[in-house]
Amino acid sequence: MVNFEWYRTFKSIYEKGSLTAAAEHLFISQPGVSLHLSSLEGHVGHPLFSRGGRKLKPTEHGVQLYQAIVEPLGLLEAVERKYQKSNQQDTPSLTLGMCFETFQLMLERNLHRLSFNVILEFGAYPALLQKLDQGVVDVVVSPQPSESKEVVQEIFGEEKLVLIGSKGVDTEVFFQQFEHLPREDFADYLKTFKWYAPTGTNEHFKRFWKTNFRKSPDFRANYIVPNFNSIIRCLKEGDGLAVAPDFLCQQAFQNQDLKLLWAGDEPIVNRLRFIHRKKTNYQKQIDQIKKVIQQEWQLNGQS
């Protein structure tokens, strides 16, 4: 008999692209993820991923299985969340979608202030907005707007994409190159550094590069790590560059653990917003989450 968790694990591997990222997303060990995957492959009788290279690539059987389970699995997860048992049966449960880094910075230490149950859903913004439309998620914190007419969107802040560097970057040399080299040669200079990037499509880096150099990047990061907080910690210990949202780096800038090198010739600014359905049974709870995050945003010196 198939274990429901095998499908949940398979879905996470498919969406995250690696066993490590799936394990972090599911809060289980990597050996546990491997066991679930091998058990499911044994059940279906076919490999679901090709294991060559750093990133797992779904096989044709894997693609077909994902397409078959993704929607019903999402609905089952929604039912599971809504009807989970609670110590206080009258306490509402709200599902909040946001990126892991924003949660750690803005909400993690404030969860105890919320008077209701909270289920966190981490993932890419398009996937979170789709889950909002499907009713799986109740509210999303996102820099990407929703195209749905059935939602309310409230902007509470802005993030700027910036080029950051480790303490070991010689800023005198960096700015000499920046001032005197043509942009194409400056791009080649930047490629001489070690680069860090988060798992996934890394749209921030691609957008920053294309905006400032008028072409897509023709190289890959040297180190692919779970998220932007991992990048910040890595750059504190070793040399390199990365593109990251500025608000995640403010503490590191203040402590002189990282250097803000360049905001780009054309600054890239994303507006952060709360997004929720117009018709909701959780307006009081959503308002409480908004208040906590807005207070934390202001405490961190953001506008």
Q: Does residue 99 sit within a domain?
A: no
Within 10 angstroms of residue 239's Cβ, the number of other Cβ atoms is 12
User: Stretch 17-27: mean pLDDT, rounded?
Assistant: 82
Q: Does residue 144 sit within a domain?
A: no
CB burial of residue 133 (10 Å; 0-12, 13-18, 19+): middle
Query: Is residue 78 located within the same domain as residue 173?
Result: no
Is the distance from CB of 194 to CB of 240 less than 8 angstroms?
yes
- Domain membership of residue 170 as a residue range: 159-269
Q: Domain count for the chain, please give it.
A: 2
Angle at 61 between CA 60 and CA 66, to 5 degrees: 100
Q: Does residue 103 sit within a domain?
A: no
SS3 category, 98? strand
Q: Does residue 219 sit within a domain?
A: yes
- The residue out of 83, 117, 143 marking a domain boundary is 83
Res. 88: pLDDT tops 50: no
- pLDDT band (50, 70, 90) for residue 87: very low
CATH number at residue 197: 3.40.190.10
Q: Does residue 178 sit within a domain?
A: yes
Query: Is residue 78 located within the same domain as residue 167?
Result: no
pLDDT digits (tens, 9 = 90+) for 194-241: 999 997 778 889 999 999 999 999 999 999 998 999 999 999 999 999
Is the distance from CB of 272 to CB of 142 less than 8 angstroms?
yes
pLDDT, position 256: 94
Q: Does residue 3 sit within a domain?
A: yes
- Identify which has the larger pLDDT, 133 or 236: 236
Q: Does residue 113 sit within a domain?
A: no
CATH number at residue 19: 1.10.10.10
DSSP per-residue codes, 141-172: EESSPP--TTEEEEEEEEEEEEEEEETTS-HH
Instruction: Write down the mean pLDDT value for the chain.
Output: 89
